[in-house]
Amino acid sequence: MKKSVKIEGLDCPNCARALEGEINKLEIVDNASIDFINKKLTFDCTDEKLAIGEIKKVIKQTEPSAKLILEKDNKEKNKTSMVKELIFDISMLAIGIALGLCALLIDLPTWAFWLLFVLSALFLGYKTYIRAFLLLIKGKINENILITLSVIGAACLGEYMESLMVVGLYTIGKILENVAVNKSRKSIEKLTKMQPEYATILDNGIEKRVTPSQVKVGDIIIVKPGERVALDGKVIKGHCSLDVQSLTGESIPTTVKEDDNILSGSIVLDGVLNIEVTTEYHDSTISKIMNLIENAAERKSKTETLISKIAKWYTLGVIVLAVLVWGIVWAITGNIDTAIYRGLIFLVVSCPCAFAISVPLSYFSGLGNASRKGILIKGSNYLDACAKLNVVAFDKTGTLTTGNFEVKDVISSSDYSSEEIVFLASLGEQNSLHPLAKSILEYNQKELVPVEDVREVAGEGVYYRYNDESYFVGRKSKNHVNTSVEVYKNDEKIGEIILSDKIKDSSIDACKELKQMGIKTIMLSGDTKEIVEHVGEILKIDEVKFQLLPQNKYEYIDELKKDKKVFLGYVGDGINDAPSLMLADVGISMGINGSPASIEASDVVLIDDNPKKVATAIKISKYTRKIVWENIILSAGIKFTFLLLGALGVTGMLSAVFADVGVTLLAILNSMRALVYKSK
């Protein structure tokens, strides 16, 4: 059983990693993972109550400032708790600074000086020392130990001011880091406010409020101005303007009327809507969005994984290097105090916080930015993958076109009327899931009856018997300029139904933007050569493939991927696209008209079915990846520079602290740029 709970009080990603390791040692818990950014602990267990109890014990022993939140606290309580914690930390810091100034600036007896000095150091860094001690007795080391050693070492060398400044600046840095990270968290948490708290159903003409999960398919819900639509459905009464910005990122309201489909998460701006529910809550758009946002952090990029692996050995490596610097400097200068001082500089400047916070925060911000624009990327690994795409293949129907076919014309022989041709076609299509079948059935005016020997052949059509005659509905001839369905009786063509499918307005812009980015575009379709080439010419697609069955699309993508230089994205919406979506390096599905199978198989979901957002997703991914590497290079460059200068004696311990804290804050602020990036 998979369990997920909130965990508060962790202000350090390395502390979170260390705690995660201790929890994974429990026999009753498997696959424990702490998401520092989202403040979430996930784990597998068979006995939830017992597991929670054991985890609490580990937290108390390893990270006493952390605590599990098993029930949702109200917002005001959470906000008050955060403010109180911040005030307490600042108060302790202020007391520590005041005591330190008294010890350093006033001429005091030795015992009084040491009393104030020790108290100052304790007030300034008590959290750091506690964490260092708790982990040390378990045989673990991290940056808390580095800082503790630096404080003790500087004091032993008589560098009292630097000793207090090291821990004081480190604590200030941690407070500022928390403020910056919490600001980013709040920006992302706005996404979760899309989740409706209730739905108003009509029960025998009486309005009744229930939780969205209690509503069933076919129920009628009423949504009034200012309320959020709780479930996907079809408008049966009323018309209004909708705010869909939280779903699609579009600020301009959209208008809905009777018979229009409506997505959960939309906000009614005016008017009252009666909506017939078409999906249960767990299958609704808003529920899918929440699940994707909640689980995205579990799929980490290779960069995040690498940083996490390096961090496990980083601190030990730093201590070894510090000892090495101490030995070399002592050997060269012959002064042990100078050697120890320069070794301590190594400990201070080498804290891995800049890497440990900024890299996941960058990806977190990029995922949040994409989500606010109606692009759900299922993890930072897929965000990374989007940035590498150089070929994008599109399905045609429902992806580049609307997929909503309309009967444009009916051609029949002299023996049959147009109405009879449509009726005969509907007899064969009445159990088909094909979008053309749905359009023909809607156009039919006659009552349908059961038929015999029904056999559907993928890529061809439906064979059946009716009144002792053999019929076929589908397509046998190959040369069609329009989308059409043919009707045969005893192998003789008796009619043809012409349907039209409009190209999405956004498809032209989508292909244009991708080509401007140097990305090759391909269209894969089961339609005829004439139709596919016509659409391809309008969209100016680089390459088109026609008359493809689902397995043909799969084989074509598989062949493309044999070229190691090709990094392929596939965009589709149907159940037959699921294999291709899974095979592609990045599978991108449609959120509204996409089948559940295609959405499940994909790595990216476009909530509003807008193909233009493929380019937007790639741009956000490239920008986020750029920021990640900026942070890595910036942090590594500054730290290496100050390590070298410290080892040579050019800079002191205070400069090292400024370098460590400063580069961490710069990296955090830089990471948050991914949250507000707007593609041009």
Residues involved in catalysis: 395
Q: How far apart are CA 343 and CA 313, in angstroms?
A: 18
DSSP state of 72: P
In SS3 terms, 253-301 reads as CEEECCCCEECCCCEECCCCEEEEECCCHHHCHHHHHHHHHHHHCCCCC
Backbone angles phi, psi at 422, to 5 degrees: -65, -40
Rounded to whole angstroms, the Cα distance separating 2 from 46 reads: 9
| Cα(398)–Cα(595) distance, integer angstroms | 11
SS3 335: coil
Q: Which residues of 252-274 are buried (b: 16+ CB within 10 A; e: fewer)?
A: eebebeeeeebbbbbbbeebebb
Helix (H, G, I), strand (E, B) or coil at 522: strand
Q: Are 551 and 535 in contact (CB under 8 A)?
A: no
For residues 592 and 219, what is the distance between their CA atoms, to the nearest angstrom? 20
Concatenated DSSP letters of 419-466: HHHHHHHHHHHTT---HHHHHHHHH--SPP---EEEEEETTTEEEEEE
* Half-sphere exposure at residue 244, Cβ-oriented, CA atoms within 13 angstroms: 17
484: part of which helix (H) or strand (E)? strand 483-489
The Cα 188–Cα 372 span in angstroms is: 9
Strand partners, 496: 411, 486
Cβ count near 477 (within 10 Å) = 10
If one counts every other C-beta atom within 10 angstroms of the C-beta of residue 613, the result is: 25
Alpha-carbon gap, residue 606 to 374, rounded angstroms: 6
Residue 489: beta bridge partners?
A: 471, 492
CA 320 to chain centre: 38
Distances (CA, A) of 390 to 53, 513, 559: 50, 13, 16
Question: What gap in Å lies between CA 395 and CA 570, rounded to an integer?
Answer: 8
**Spatial CA neighbour of 374 closest among 605, 596, 602:** 605
The H or E element that residue 197 is part of is none
- DSSP category for residue 3: E
What CA–CA distance (Å, rounded) separates 263 from 273? 13
Q: Which residue matches tokens 């080892």?
A: 647
Q: Give SS3 for 146.
A: helix
Which residue is listed with tokens 């400044």? 165
The contacts of residue 161 (CB under 8 Å, 6+ apart) are 104
As a dihedral over the C-alpha atoms of residue 157, residue 161, residue 162, residue 166, rounded to 10 degrees, the angle is 130
For residue 94, how far is the Cα from the chain centroid?
A: 39
Strand-pairing partners, residue 269, are none
Distance (Å, rounded) from C-alpha 298 to C-alpha 43? 11
Query: Which of 208, 193, 190, 219 minimizes the C-alpha distance to 281?
Result: 219
484 in Cβ contact with 496 (< 8 Å): yes
